[in-house]
Every structure is written in C-alpha cells, then in structure tokens.
Amino acid sequence: MNSLTLEQLIMLLPELLLLVLAVIIMLLPGRARTMAWLVAAGGLAADLLMCLSLWGVNDYIMGGAYAVNNFAVLVKVMLLGLALLNVIGSHDFTARVYRAREYYALLLMAMLGLLIIPSSTDFITLVVAFELVSITTYVLPLAELNNSQGGEAALKYFISGAFASALILYGLSLLYGFTGTMNLQNCAQAMAILGAHPLLIVALVLLLAGFGYKMALVPFHWWAADTYTGSPSPTTGFLSGVTQKGAFVVALKIIVVYSAVFAPLAALLLGVLCAVTMTVGNVLALKQKDVKRMIAYSSVAHAGNIGVGFVVGGTAIVGSFVHILAHALMAIACFFALQIVLERKGGTMMQHFRGLGKQMPGLAAALMLLLLSFGGVPPLLGFWGKMLMVVPAVGLGGWYLVLALILVLNSALSLVYYAAVIREMYMRPAEIELLPPAADKIKPSGRSYQLALWLSVALLLAFGLLPNWLTEICSSALFNSMLPW
C-alpha cells in the first residue's frame, strides 16, 4: 500500500472537510439551528469550490483505489451544488424540526458518500460509499417527529434499501467469484477474456435489480411513491434530487464495465426497464390527486428517462447528465414549492392549487415553469436533456428508435398531468383561503424555500437558454477523461 503524500491529501480535502464539518455540527449546542445551517451551507459551498479547483487533474491516489478526474469532478460539483441548493432552502424547515443538527450532519455524511462514488475505482469502495449514502438517508424522513407518514416513509425506504443492498452484494460476490477481482477495470478486462457467461448475466441482473431499487426503476419503484410522499418535502427533494442521482452514477459505472462484452444484452435489459419505468410512472402519476404523490411518481418516470441515455450511449450519455441535473433542479425546487403550498394552504391536494395563480402569483409562476420543464417544453432545461437523448437514439434506429418513441410519447403523456396542475392554478377559482404567513420563531416565513426555489428556477432558465456551455462541459468531462475508473 502506498502512503499518501501531502499533495495527494489535497485531492481528498473535499471529502475530509465534509467529515470534519459533520462532526463540528454535532458538537454545536442543540439549539443552534441557524448555526448548523450556516456551517452546512458554507461547508458545501467551500467544498464545491475545492472540487472545482480539481478540474483538469487526472490522477489516482491510494494505490489506484481513488480516481480524481474530470468525470469525478463534474459529478461531485453537480451533486454538491444540488445539495447546497437543498440545504439553503432547508433553513425554514429545520427551524421547527426536533433535530436540526442531526439533519444537517446526516446530509453532510450522505454527501461524503456521494463524493466517493464517482471517484471509486473498485466495487468495494463503490458499495461502501453507496451504503454510506443509503444508511444516512434512511433516517432523514423522520426529521419531523409529528409527521406520522415520515415513519412509514423511512421504514419502507430502509427495508427496500436493505433488500437492494443484499441483491447488490450477492451480484458482486458472483462477479468476484468469476473474475477474481473487484477492480472495475480489471473486471472489464477479465470479462473480455472470459467472454459471455450465464453467471455473469445473473450477476448483471442482480446488480441492475439492486441499483434499480435505488434508482426507483419499475418494478423496483414501490417504495419511492410512499417515501417521497411521506417524507417532508425538503427531504424528498434531497432524496429524489441528490441521492437518487448518485445511484445513476453507480449504474453508469457498472454498465461501462459490462459494455465490453454484454453491450447488447445490457442495453436491452436496461432499455426494457426504462421503457416500463417511464410508462408505469406516468400512468400512475396521471391518477394521483395529491400533487406531491404525482411528482413522486413523475420522479419515477424521469428515472426511466435518464436511463434511456445510458442505454443509447454515446452523445446520449451527455443527455442523461443534462437530464440528471435538470430533474434534480426541478425536483428540489418543486418540492420546496410544494412545501410552501403545504404551509400556506394546508395541503398539497389538487384543490389546494385552485386559484393559486391569483393568491400567490410568484409561486404559481415558478411552479408553472417547473411543471413545463418537467414536461419537456422548450426552451427550459428539462427539454434539452430529453432532446439530447432522443436525437441520437433516432440516429441509431432499430430498438433505440422504439425507445425514443416511447420516451417521446411518455413525455406527451406526462404533460397531461402537469398541465392539470397548471389548469388548477390558473383556470379555477380558489376554494381554500391562504393561511397567514407565520413569522414567529417556530414557524418561519418560508423565505428560504423561496430563495432555493427561485435559485433553481433561475438556473433552469439560464441553462435552458444557453445549453451549450453545460453540454460542452459534460461532454468534455465524459469523453476526455472517460472512463469512470
């Protein structure tokens, strides 16, 4: 084992900083909620800058077990930025939850795991990092003690997550038994020599199923609706906007390992999963009367959308990354918007949205933009990701064309329920009066929600109007420093 030099330690600073900050937050006095918030937000921002400064570095540390390259930096910066948005918005939320310190400490620990994922070069690190993310987030839905749904949400999330971990580990044990290595690169090479073997396929299926749970692909999605709906909205934003996105990075790595030998099979398997996920997610979302649950199902559908890019490969992976970012921004912003609606109107059912366009014009406008972006209406960012996936898929033809068609039709289908919410907001008179904005200490005004919401919307619009910059960075990170090891 090589020892770490100081220079190499610098590359690990972002990870170490998070660890230190999480400990510091736990050492803060129990009532120092704002302080905890400040430390978390400031820490994430500092971390983001540190990661950015690593752009262009291409190195391995710790004996090749940890890679620092543009791909890793891109993912880290993206996830840190999203987490930062989420933390910024969470201020008002944690002002009234019982354990604010723990909330932020857990978030930071989850982020630590998420930072390790893109850099890991072997399955062990990958799985350990992902477990770190999972285990810390199992607790998050419980942040609100008086929310009875939170317990159910957490339990379902935990049980499905544990089950998924078991599947993943079993798949990995097969893989290890067969190839004799846990290193991603060696594993791929071993497969190239050994050729296709049924056991490897079993391992692939198990891994896809395991991470399918984490990505909430149908039929492994059943926990998602309950967990996303039952959790407090800021937590849901984090789960669906940040941690779930980490699972996609892991999935991408596994696909790349397998792509040498099993490309057609993996494409078919994952392609079918994605097609089913999109369709089922959208059809279920169509039936929901609770907008939060609707968005939860739409998150499931969007997971399918993102997967399509992985299946198609090539430029479409850039599309996937753009869509990951787009959906994460939309989900985080949308769940904050829902939290505002919950606090000001008492619920998030369809009738709570009636007449919102007149009652809260600013919020309604932001929500409308978000919903249109969800539905893939140009020129919002939600459109570009889909477009960058669909166009290469059409170019490839065959099965990919079918997949593109399914994506497109689903996108149209999804607009039905997004438009239904818009219709409630603008075309129906209000039935439920606004609750007065509570400005006391226990129930803050919701300014931090607004801030995070508008920051996300601004980013969506900015990236949507100038998509070039984003796609250039994504494609340079993906194709120049490829691959995930």
Partner 1 sequence: MSIITILLALPLVGALLLLLLRSQPQLSKYVAIICTGAVFIGSLVMLSGYEAAADGYQFLQETKWFPAFGVSFAVGLDSLSLPLFMLTTLLCFLVVVYSWDVTERAPFYYGLLLVLETGVLGVFSALDFFLFYIFWEVVLIPMFFLIGIWGGERRSYASMKFLIYTHVASLIMLLAIGAMFFKAADVLGYYTFSIPEITEVGFDLNFELLVFPALLFAFCVKLPVVPVHTWLPDAHVEAPTAASVLLAGVLLKMGGYGLIRVAYMLCPTAARQYTWLVVILALLSIVYGAFVAFKQDDLKKLIAYSSISHMGFVLIGIASFDEIGIMGAVFQMVAHGLISAMLFMGCGVIQHHAGTRLISRLGGLYSKMPAAMTMLILAFFASMGIPGFMGFFAEFSVMLGVFRSFGWVVLLVALGAVLAVGYYLWAFQRVAYGTMPAELAGCKDIHWYEMLPMLVLLVLTIYFGLQPDVLVEYMEGSVESLTGLSYWDMEA
Candidates 218, 372, 403, 455; binder of partner 1 (CB under 8 A) is 372
Q: Residue 4, exposed/middle/buried by CB under 10 A (0-12, 13-18, 19+)? A: middle
Residue 377 binding partner 1, by CB under 8 A: yes
User: How many residues sit in the footprint of partner 1 (CB under 8 A)?
Assistant: 31
Closest to partner 1 by CB, 98 or 469:
469
Smallest distance, partner 1 to C-beta of residue 352, A: 17
Smallest distance, partner 1 to C-beta of residue 378, A: 4
Determine contact, residues 336/89, Cβ cutoff 8 Å: yes
Smallest distance, partner 1 to C-beta of residue 384, A: 9
Candidates 308, 467, 477, 478; binder of partner 1 (CB under 8 A) is 467
Closest to partner 1 by CB, 22 or 372:
372
The helix (run of H) or strand (run of E) holding residue 88 is helix 70-89
Per-residue contact string for residues 201-230; x = within reach of partner 1 by CB under 8 A: ------------------------------
DSSP designation for 61? E
* Residues numbered 396-455 forming contacts with partner 1, rule: CB under 8 A: 404-405, 408-409, 411-412, 415-416, 419-420, 423, 426-428
Smallest distance, partner 1 to C-beta of residue 358, A: 9
Smallest distance, partner 1 to C-beta of residue 476, A: 10
Candidates 44, 54, 75, 390; binder of partner 1 (CB under 8 A) is 390
Smallest distance, partner 1 to C-beta of residue 301, A: 15
Residue with tokens 């905890």: 36
Angstrom distances, CA of residue 471 to CA of 132, 221, 337: 30, 29, 27
Q: Is 371 helix (H, G, I), strand (E, B) or coil?
A: helix
Residue 379 binding partner 1, by CB under 8 A: yes
Residue 471 binding partner 1, by CB under 8 A: yes
Tokens describing residue 34? 């704002």
Q: Residue 27, exposed/middle/buried by CB under 10 A (0-12, 13-18, 19+)? A: exposed
Smallest distance, partner 1 to C-beta of residue 120, A: 30
**C-alpha 480: how far from chain center:** 24
Closest to partner 1 by CB, 178 or 479:
479
Closest to partner 1 by CB, 46 or 387:
387
Closest to partner 1 by CB, 190 or 421:
421
**C-alpha 452: how far from chain center:** 16
- Biggest CA pair distance of the chain: 69
Q: What is the DSSP string of 415-457?
A: HHHHHHHHHHHHHS---SPPPPPP-SSSS--SHHHHHHHHHHH
Residue 391 binding partner 1, by CB under 8 A: yes
* Residues numbered 302-331 forming contacts with partner 1, rule: CB under 8 A: none
What is the C-alpha separation between 408 and 402, in angstroms, rounded? 10
Smallest distance, partner 1 to C-beta of residue 412, A: 5
Closest to partner 1 by CB, 183 or 288:
288
- Tell me which stretch binds partner 1 (CB under 8 A): 45-53, 225-233, 337-345, 389-397: 389-397
Angstrom distances, CA of residue 419 to CA of 169, 277, 369, 370, 372: 42, 21, 11, 11, 8
Q: What is the DSSP string of 223-291?
A: HHHHHHHHS-HHHHHHIIIIIHHHHHHHHHHHHHHHHHHHHHHHHHHHHHHHHHHHHHHHHHHHT-SBH
Signed CA dihedral, 26, 28, 31, 36: sign only: negative
**Residues forming a β-bridge with 60:** 67
Those residues whose C-beta lies under 8 Å from the C-beta of residue 212, and which sit 6 or more positions away, are: 164, 220, 273
Candidates 59, 431, 433, 472; binder of partner 1 (CB under 8 A) is 472
Closest to partner 1 by CB, 70 or 471:
471
Closest to partner 1 by CB, 322 or 455:
322
Smallest distance, partner 1 to C-beta of residue 109, A: 37
Residue with tokens 């630590």: 112
Smallest distance, partner 1 to C-beta of residue 416, A: 6
Residue 395 binding partner 1, by CB under 8 A: yes
Candidates 378, 399, 454, 483; binder of partner 1 (CB under 8 A) is 378
Smallest distance, partner 1 to C-beta of residue 400, A: 11
DSSP designation for 68? E
Residues that bind partner 1 (CB under 8 A): 372, 377-379, 387-388, 390-395, 404-405, 408-409, 411-412, 415-416, 419-420, 423, 426-428, 467-468, 471-472, 475
